[in-house]
Amino acid sequence: MNQQQKPTQQQHARQQKNEGEGNRTAARAYNAEEHRFAADPEKVKKAAQSAERAVDGPEGAALAEAEREGRKHARK
CA distances (Å), 25 to each of 7, 17, 72, in order?
20, 10, 32
Q: pLDDT digits over 21-72, tens only? A: 788 889 999 999 999 999 999 999 999 999 999 999 999 999 999 999 999 9
What pLDDT score was predicted for residue 2? Answer: 54
Please state the domain extents for the chain. Answer: 23-72
- The pTM (predicted TM-score) of the whole model is 0.59
- CA 46 to CA 50: how far, in whole Å? 6
